């Protein structure tokens, strides 16, 4: 949601970013870039995103009793993280070696909606039961078919990645600055609110200043070794094209079919 504030500056003074950043494309059609925002709100959580051939989904979690449950508001629950996401993904990995059988990594974003240590402990216990998940220590990353990125409550996700020598999740940050340090094995991604960084509504031609601001984010993040996800973005083909041109790693949408069709037909 646009805040009415001036967008944050992202380029170092005097820096002019590349007009088009490097855009890794491990699968045809750029389907790797599809991100199902608040995925659990779709009719068939996870499955609708899989049918659209997305490689990234997001689930918000609360602790209810001893269970990590999926919900947007903590009032209506769709089920547990285990039943809705982890078990089905592990079954696919067990069957074909990766989520789609193509060896391309899949990302599960888990949004911590509570800041309690109890939620962190319960989540850690759940994640530790899945061999498909990427494992992180301060010294090494053992890549798995599925990587969990913690988003949401800033203090809690930062605490999670310091609690324990071995972790089956890394974290993101919800703010970007050009002088951020390089990535380590705890902080691996950005999840940025669109309205904080751009005033463009996604229609027509993006102003050059807006394009440069976004290019500096992706260019800088990639140089630091992190991925970029923008949320609350315009749901337009114009925005999706710019996101691909500038190397945004995860293209956010609630419109799974529309973005899937766009990605399948995209030509630079």
Q: Which token pair is 162?
A: 């310091």
Q: Please tell me the predicted confidence (pLDDT) of residue 18.
A: 61
Whole-Å CA distances, 250 to 5, 23, 37, 95, 151: 25, 11, 10, 26, 14
- 3-state DSSP assignment of residue 79: strand
Is 100 within 8 Å of 107 (Cβ atoms)?
Answer: no
Predicted confidence (pLDDT) per residue in 175-220, tens digit:
999 999 999 999 999 999 999 999 999 999 999 889 989 999 988 9
Q: What are phi and psi of 172, to 5 degrees?
A: -110, -175
Tell me which residue of 82, 91, 162 sits closest to 120, measured CA to CA: 162
Q: Residue 73: is its pLDDT beyond 80? A: yes
Looking at the chain, the whole-number percentage of residues with pLDDT higher than 70 is 91
d(CA 116, CA 156): 7
Strands 170-173, 187-193: parallel, antiparallel or unpaired by DSSP? parallel
Q: What confidence score (pLDDT) does residue 33 get?
A: 76
176 in Cβ contact with 197 (< 8 Å):
yes
3-class DSSP assignment, residue 173: strand
Global pTM reads 0.91
43's CB contacts (< 8 A; 6+ apart) are none
What does pLDDT average to over the chain? 90
Q: What is the pLDDT of residues 15-46, one digit of tens each?
A: 777 644 444 433 333 334 799 999 999 999 99
pLDDT tens-digit series, residues 74-129: 888 999 999 999 999 999 999 999 999 999 999 999 999 999 999 999 999 999 99
Cβ count near 94 (within 10 Å): 11
Q: Please, what are the domains in the chain?
A: 31-265 (3.20.20.190)
Gap between the Cα atoms of 116 and 171, Å rounded: 16
Residue 143 in contact with residue 103, Cβ under 8 Å? no
Q: Using an 8 Å Cβ cutoff, are 219 and 17 in contact?
A: yes
62 pLDDT exceeds 90? yes
Helix (H) or strand (E) holding 194: helix 194-197
* pLDDT score of 7: 87
């Amino acid at each position: 949601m646009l805040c009415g504030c001036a967008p944050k500056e992202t380029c170092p003074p005097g820096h002019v970013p590349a007009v088009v950043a490097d855009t890794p494309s491990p699968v045809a059609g750029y389907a790797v870039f599809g991100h199902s925002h608040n995925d659990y709100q779709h009719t068939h959580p996870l499955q609708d995103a899989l049918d659209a051939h997305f490689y990234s989904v997001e689930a918000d979690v609360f602790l209810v009793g001893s269970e990590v449950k999926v919900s947007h508001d903590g009032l209506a629950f769709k089920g547990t993280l285990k039943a809705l996401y982890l078990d089905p993904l592990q079954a696919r990995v067990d069957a074909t070696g990766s989520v789609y059988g193509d060896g391309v990594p899949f990302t599960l974003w888990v949004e911590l909606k509570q800041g309690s240590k109890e939620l962190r402990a319960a989540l850690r216990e759940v994640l530790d039961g899945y061999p498909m998940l990427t494992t992180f220590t301060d010294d090494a990353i053992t890549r798995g078919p599925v990587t969990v990125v913690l988003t949401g409550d800033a203090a809690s996700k930062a605490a999670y990645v310091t609690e324990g020598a071995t972790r089956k999740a890394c974290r993101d940050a919800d703010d970007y600055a050009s002088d951020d340090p390089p990535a380590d094995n705890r902080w691996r991604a950005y999840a940025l609110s669109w309205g904080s960084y751009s005033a463009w509504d996604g229609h027509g031609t993006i102003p050059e200043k807006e394009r440069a601001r976004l290019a500096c984010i992706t260019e800088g993040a990639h140089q630091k070794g992190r991925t970029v996800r923008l949320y609350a973005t315009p749901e337009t083909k114009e925005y999706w094209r710019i996101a691909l041109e500038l190397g945004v790693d995860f293209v956010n949408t609630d419109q799974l079919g529309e973005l899937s069709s766009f990605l399948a037909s995209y030509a630079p």
